Every structure is written in structure tokens, then in C-alpha cells.
Structure 1
Amino acid sequence: MSQAPARPLSVFLIAGEESGDVLGAGLMRELGVLTGGAIAFTGIGGPRMEAAGLASLFPMDDITAIGVGQVVAGLPRILKRLREAADAVVRARPDVLVLIDAPDFTHRVAHKVRSRLPDLPIVKYVAPTVWVWRPGRAKAMKPDVDRVLAVLPFEPEVMARLDGPPTTYVGHPLLGMLDEIRPNAEEALRRDGKPPLLLVLPGSRRSELQRLGPLFGDVLARLVAQVPDLELVLPTLPRRRAEVGAMVAGWTVTPRIVVDEAEKHAAFRRARAAFAASGTVTLELALAGIPSIATYRVHWLEARFAYHVLNITSAILPNLILGEKAIPEYLQWYIDPPAMAAVLARLIEGGPEREAQLAAFERLGELMGVDGETPSRRAARAVLEVAGRPAPTAP
């Protein structure tokens, strides 16, 4: 007598911000593959998750707020959406609830849902940055979250040390796009060719362009005086094209601005070195094998506040993962344009500093490896395990 097929797995997802939408869409696709399509999605997400089959209960932007002013102005809306999200989960009674990024919103949803559906498995995809500040958040979320899926390899140990929920490292989403940013044999030869290509990455937020634009122009002018035969490429977002154009108009050097994603990836595969604002892009550069320096500057009041509350020894993700200052960082009071230009020149021309970074990037790849599976596939396996429907492991 044949066994009746298992009913479709019901998954409720809540994502906030563009990064959460990207992660959510990848997770949905892999869950569909691992369950053979026997799955149903409900929840809140952005355009990528909607394209993957989610009918969002309300616009994802309604729960995304950045900056104190935006939070205060949007508080009534956010509180309303918080109640609606928790109520929707309770009505749906899914097999598992997956909360992606947006910790301030999703942790409150988890708390409300846990009090009403205490047996519902709850997964948090992307660990809160308790290793940066507010470490008490780890222990605070433990009663409401059954599993955290971490994107950085040191986070499971940190969460355990801080008495947080069980945490599984599934890999950073950048690991799923290595073929797009790493060179093939021909492109690797181009990295050593003439003229050398330097990636210029001053950030994508308007405030970053305003604060860092003059600094980047200064450093690049000094660099070109030392390495005159240099190709400069500045990837940016389409919506920032006009602002970036206005910014570089005041520079004495003129980078080529690219807004197409494929052009950006092609530049990564050909780049000899990079000059970047601190952020996720430093990890992207390291995984692509591109030696770089990083910088950042905020308002002096923010810097003083950060000095007293942050618990990190570096602002550069690859340095944090490696536990060493592999990538030179010039932050706030330690910004030094002549020194920055000199280091970039040496990274371009070659020598011990360049070789040391390349060796560090090899170690970084080993630390972040995920046994050949993509981060989305590993995340999907973890969700199914928490839901009580583990998928067979790959042969």
C-alpha cells in the first residue's frame, strides 16, 4: 500500500530591507528544490521574493527605517505593521516562521508570536551584530528564536559565548556569486596587464558620497602622480549616477562610472587593486582576490559615540573574520591621504604588501568555505531541519 504524500510545508517569511529580500528569494528557491515543490509561502517581502512566488501582505518598505529621524516619523506605521505581521502569522499557523534581517522589527515579531504560538519553530536568518554592539541582544532573543542562521563564520562562537540561541553558519551570500567576481585565466592575466585597473568605491549612500567624495578625489590625485598610467573605474547604483557624476566633476582625475551590474562584475574580474569605503564591499573585494585599502568618516559626534559603545577591533569585515589587519584601514582621525596614496601605489606595483594581502585572502576563503553548497542551499536545509522536515544530504 503506497504511502500518502506529505502535505506541502507551510513557510511564513518576513524580510526587511533589500538585503533581506535577496536572501529571502534565494532561500525560497532552494526550499522549493529540496521539497520538490511541496511548499507554500506566505509573508512579507520585496520584489525578488514576490518574483519567487510570495504575495507580500504589505510593502516591505513599510518596515524599513534607517536613522533616528525616519524611525520617529514612521513609528505609528511600523507599530501598526508589527501588529499586523504577528496577527497574520498566528492566523496562518505555518510549519515554520523565518525572519530575515531587520532585527529591530523581526525580533519583536518573534516575541509576539512566541507568546501566542509557543510551539511554532522560529528561525532568524542573519545574526544580529551583537559582536559590534548591544551584546545583550543575543541572550534576549534566546526564548523567542529556535535557530539563528549566521552569514559570518565567527558568529556561532560569539552567540554561544553570549548565551544566545543555537546558531548555524550557512555562509555569506557573496559566496554564491564568486564566479561573477573572480577572474578566469584570461582575465587573471589582464589584472597584471597595462594599464592597471583600480576600482574606486566611495559608497552608495548620499551621505557617504558627500563625506568621502573630496577625500577620494585627494587620494586619487596623489596616486595618479605616482602611477600615471592608471585606469579608474567607479561602479555605482543607477539612482546615484547623477550625484556621482557631480562628485567626480570636482576631482582632478576622471574615473569611468559604471551602473550596470555586469559591467561592475567585469571590472572586479580585471581589477589590480581597489580603494573602498568600509562596508560589505571590502569582503566582496577580498573574496574576488583584489588587494585594497579602506576608509571611512562620520560626523565627529557619531565617532565619539561609536568609540564608547562598539566592541570591535576593526571596521573591515575581512579583518574581523581573519582576526588580523590584513587590509589597511584609514578611519576618522587616522585618515592620511599621502600615506593612503603611497600604499595604493605599492599594491598596484606589486611587492610584499600585495603578496601578504593575497595570502590572507586565501585563508579567508578557507574560513568562509561551505563544503561546496551555496549559502541559500545550506540555509534551506537548516530551515527544513528546524521545521522537522530534513532534506536528504547531497551524495
Structure 2
Amino acid sequence: MTTNGEKPLKVMLVAAEASGDALGAGLARALRARLGDAVTFVGIGGAKMAEQGVESPFDIAQLSILGIFESLKAYPRAMARLKDTVALAAREKPDVAVLIDSWGFNIRLAHALRKLDPNLPLVKYVAPQVWAYREGRAHALAKAVDLLLSIQPMDRPYFDAAGLRNVFVGNSALAKRFDHADPARLRASIGASASEPILLVLPGSRPSEIERVMPAFEDAVRRLKGQRPALQVVVPTAYTVAEAVKARVAGWPFRAHVIEDEGLKDDAFLAGDVALACSGTVTTELALAGRPMVVGYKTGAITYAIIKRLMKPRWITLFNIAAGRAVAPEFIQQDCEGERLAREIAIRLDDPALRDKQVAEQYLALDKMGRGMPDPSEAAAEALLSFLRLPTKVPA
């Protein structure tokens, strides 16, 4: 394993869902900027990692699973993909494996890779949220991998106590910039005038989220459109669920604009007046873009009952947790229903001062989370190369 021309460093990157795919692409880009042709990549990922040369042998949408019953139903398929991933590692013989987020899949993969090659360095990128629930996972991870690249500052005490080497690299969502985005371009693309309000609808990136969250979101949008015919509805969608989202939106009794293009998504994030968002990484991105939002979420009843008993924070949105209060209103499980969502959105559409106040409070919470830190992908690349004791050069 060298970077001096003898043998390129071969990095295996494994991401099982859209957010992990973005992290993997960022890390691959940062490593290539430092090592050039002295690094190659193999692994599992989606469209963004494919752009960086990581050709996945299967569609990661098969692994975007959430909830106990969904996991049980998908277990045979997930185990088949796990076997495929281990076979890929056996064939490609990487120098290091970086397992990105997706606790259920990647903790099993870590054990399988350790059995395959006890000397293969294993790195976990994104910790399980032990500060929120299931502290025991810190010790389980410490037994399974050699290094943790952490994206939350509250991770460190738990993994230090477990004896796992860990480096806080920052949250890539907090590094997202919208300098290049143009809200006028989005309005032009959908035929909206400068005065027409825009509602962003973001129903999640997993099939189970579309199935559970979208009905309530649809009801809320129907109510709002009934009251406000001029309201423009824009639905930025993750590629993992794009077909399902387009199929549902096609059945709406009014026009809505589904956005798949990444550049137009950023334009939309600046153009929207208010967002209705499924809890997840996208809430942080919306907050960075200065969009006030209402957050909704639903999962299986048994899954929710278990998580509610284990969860320590009162909220599920990261910037709400950082703020210690509901800066953005959250509607979870039975509270995630159309009438309540529509009411909170309508209040914000009608009150620019409230929108501005919420945006300012979201920014303060983001500052607590580490907004303004150097690019986490760069920090992750530095930490990985330091761990491997390889020389690195910072890109010009």
C-alpha cells in the first residue's frame, strides 16, 4: 500500500443510502485531489459515488430500509447484498474499507470483512447516534472497526470511553454552500412569477418514507392549494425515490414540479418561501439555505414505540436538538397529519417576520453544530490518510 507509484492505494467505500452516497463521493473527491492516480476506488454506492469512479454492482435503493417490519421483510435481500459486497472485497482486495453510515448493514459488513481479512483496516464514517439512544452501540462499534470518522461533536465522549479511535471531521451537510444557486432560475424553469409563493415539499429519500410520510404531506398540500391557488409546489427528490415520487405527484389534482437536477434543487432551496420536510439531512441543508420549515415524520408503530422509549432528546431534528427547543415545529407519528401541517405552513406563508425569526434561530443552532468549519470531506481524507500513515498533500 503505497502512494509512490509502486501500487495505488485501493479504497473500498460502502454507502447504502443517498446521504451516505454523498459522503462517499466527497471523500473520494478529496482523496483523489491529494493522491491523484495513486488512489483507486471500489465499493457500493449511488449516482454521486459513480461520478467519482465507484461502480456499484447493485442499486443501493435495495438497502434504503427503515423500521422493524420493513427490515424484517427486506432481511433476505439485504443479506444477499451483504454477501455480494463481501465477494467484491474478496475479489478486489482493498487496502482499507470505509463503511459509511447505515448501521444495520455496515456493522454486519464490518464483522464479515474482519472474518474475510483480519488485517484489513476498517473505518466507520458517521457514528450511530449513541448520544440519543443505544449507548451500547459505541462498544459494539469499537469491537468491529479500527477508526471512526465522526460528524457530530457530541459523539466523542462515548467513543473515547469505548476505546475507539475517533476523529471529529464535521458534518458535510453544514459545509454545503448555495453561492452558485439562483432562485430566479428556478422560478423561470417552472414558470413562476417573482410574486408567487413557493412551497418546497421534501418527503424523504427512502421508499418507506415515501410510503408513510407522503400521504400526510399530500393532504397538507391539497389543503393549502385549495386556499391558495397561486401557491407553486416544488418537490425536490432524491434519485433513490424519484420514480415513486413522480408516480405519486402525477396523481395530484393540481400541478406540482418534481425537481431531480442537482443544480435546480439548490436553486429551489433558495427560491422556496417555506418547506415541508421529512426529518433527515435535508432539514440541515434547508436551514443552511435560510428556509423556514415544518418537519414531519412517520415510521412503523412498533418501531416508533421502541425508539420513543430509548430516545433521550425530545426532538428528532438535529438543529432543534442543538438549540434545545423546537425552532422548527415537528409533527411525528399520529401528529403528522395534513391539517396540522397545513396550518403551520400557512402561518409561515402569511408572516414574513415569523419566517425571518425562524431562519435566524436556525442559523444560531447551526453555529452550535459547527457551521463554518472547514470542508468535512477534506478533514475526513486527512484523518484517513493519517490513520494509514500515508503522506498527503493539500490540494492547491
- The reply to whether TM is greater than 0.5 is yes
Q: Following the alignment from structure 1 to structure 2, what is the Cα–Cα distance between the partners of residues 223 and 47?
A: 34
Indicate the SS of the match to 1:29.
Answer: helix
Q: Alignment partner for residue 84 of structure 1, among 75, 84, 87? A: 87
Give 3-state SS (helix, strand or coil) of 1:35's partner: helix
Contact preservation (8 Å) 1:82, 1:105: no
CA distance, structure 2, for counterparts of residue 93 and residue 111 of structure 1: 16
1:192–1:272 Cα contact (<8 Å) kept: no
Picking from 252, 271, 275, the partner of 1:248 is 252
Question: What is aligned with 1:263?
Answer: 264
Partner residue, 2:76: 73
How far, CA to CA, are the matches of 1:239 and 1:168 in structure 2? 37
Given that 1:202 and 1:216 are in contact with CA atoms closer than 8 Å, whether structure 2 keeps it comes out as: yes
Quick check: 1:212–1:296 contact (8 Å CA) kept in 2?
A: yes
Within 2, Cα distance between the matches of 1:197 and 1:206?
Answer: 25
Say if 2:232 and 2:256, in contact at 8 Å, map to a contact too: yes
Provide the C-alpha distance between the structure 2 equivalents of 1:207 and 1:42, rounded to a whole number of angstroms: 28
1:363 matches 2:364: yes
Residue 372 to residue 116, structure 1, CA distance change in 2 (3 Å): same
Give the 3-state SS of the residue equivalent to 2:177 in structure 1: helix
Q: Secondary structure at the match of 2:97?
A: strand
Distance 1:255 1:151, change over 3 A: same
Taking the aligned partners of 2:380 and 2:176, their CA distance within structure 1 comes to 16
Equivalent-residue separation in structure 2 for 1:27 and 1:303 (angstroms): 33
* Cα shift readout 1:345-388 (whole Å, capped 9, x = no counterpart): 33223355323321222224423447663222111111101011
Mean Cα deviation higher: 26-35 or 351-360: 351-360
How far apart in 1 are the matches of 2:45 and 2:204?
Answer: 25
Taking only the aligned residue pairs, the percentage that are identical comes to 32
The one-letter code of the counterpart of 1:166 is: R
d(CA) in 2 for partners of 1:114, 1:78: 17
Aligned to 1:11: 10
Moved more, 109-118 or 353-362: 109-118
Distance 1:208 1:86, change over 3 A: closer
State the distance in 2 between where 1:339 and 1:40 align: 50
| Cα offsets for 1:209-245 (capped at 9, x unmatched) | 4444443344334445665643222233541354223
What is the identity, as a one-letter code, of the residue corresponding to 1:170?
V
Equivalence for 1:33: 33
Whole-angstrom CA distance in 1 between matches of 2:215 and 2:62: 34
Long gaps (5+) in structure 1: none
Q: Which residue of 1 aligns with 2:347?
A: 346
Given the superposition, is the C-alpha separation of residues 70 and 260 from structure 1 closer, same or farther in structure 2, using an over 3 Å criterion?
A: same
Give CA-to-partner distance per residue, 1:64-117, whole Å, 9 cap, x none: 37333444333662563365356457xx372x3322233334334434555676
Provide closer, same or farther for how the CA distance between residues 370 and 361 of structure 1 changes in structure 2, counting only shifts above 3 A: closer
Aligned partners of 1:279 and 1:47: how far apart in 2? 19
SS at structure 2 position matched to 1:200: strand
TM superposition shift of 1:39: 2.5
Whether the 8 Å CA contact 1:27–1:376 is kept in 2: the answer is: yes
| Matched residue type, 1:77 | A
Deviations 1:234-258 (A, max 9, x none): 2335413542234423xxx543333
Equivalent residue number for residue 110 of structure 2: 110
Q: Secondary structure at the match of 2:247?
A: helix
Q: Residues 296-375 of structure 1 correspond to what in structure 2 (within 5 A)? A: 296-335=297-336, 337-350=338-351, 353-369=354-370, 373-375=374-376
Superposed CA deviations along residues 102-133 of structure 1, whole A, max 9, x for unmatched, are 33343344345556765654321122233444
Instruction: State whether residues 62 and 78 of structure 1, in contact with CA within 8 Å, keep that contact through their aligned partners in structure 2.
Output: no
- Give the match's secondary structure for 1:276: strand
The code of the aligned residue for 2:140 comes to A
RMSD, aligned CA: 3.8
Quick one: structure 1 residues 183 and 62, their matched pair in 2 at CA, closer, same or farther if it must change by over 3 Å? closer
Match of 1:149 in 2: 149
| Stretch of structure 1 that moved more, 318-327 or 229-238 | 229-238
C-alpha contact (below 8 Å) 1:42/1:55 kept by paired residues = yes
| Cα gap change, 1:72 to 1:37, in 2 (>3 Å) | closer
C-alpha contact (below 8 Å) 2:32/2:39 kept by paired residues: yes
SS at match of 2:315: coil
Aligned length in residues: 382
Sort the Cα spacing of 1:203 and 1:180 in 2 relative to 1 into closer, same or farther, 3 A.
farther
SS, match of residue 248 in structure 1: coil
Question: What is the one-letter code of the residue matched to 1:248?
Answer: W
Deviates more, 1:371-380 or 1:75-84: 75-84
State the 1:291 CA deviation. Answer: 0.2
Say whether the 8 Å CA contact 2:126–2:151 is kept in structure 1: yes
What is the SS of the residue equivalent to 1:304? helix
Find the aligned partners of 1:338 and 1:345 in 2 and give their Cα distance. 10
Aligned partners of 1:259, 1:97: CA distance in 2, in Å? 30
Structure having the higher Rg: 1
Matching residue of 2:284: 283
The residue type equivalent to 2:375 in the other structure is T
The aligned residue for residue 234 of structure 2 is: 233
Partner-residue secondary structure (3-state), 1:178: coil
CA distance in structure 2 between the partners assigned to 1:242 and 1:93 by the alignment: 38
**Aligned equivalent of 2:294:** 293
Which residue of the partner structure matches residue 200 of structure 2?
199
> Which one is further off, 143-152 or 45-54?
45-54
- Looking at structure 1, the residues matched to 9 and 277 of structure 2 have their Cα atoms a distance apart, in angstroms, of 42
Find the residue that maps to 2:221 and give its secondary structure: helix
**Cα distance 1:198–1:137, how it changes in 2: closer, same or farther (>3 A)?**
same
Q: What is the distance in 2 between the residues matched to 1:229 and 1:204?
A: 28
Question: CA 1:240–1:184 in structure 2 vs 1: closer, same or farther (change >3 Å)?
Answer: closer
Q: TM-score, normalised by structure 2?
A: 0.79
Code of the residue aligned with 1:278 in structure 2: it is S
CA distance in 2: counterparts of 1:244 and 1:269, whole angstroms = 25
Q: Is the 8 A contact 1:65 1:74 kept in 2?
A: no
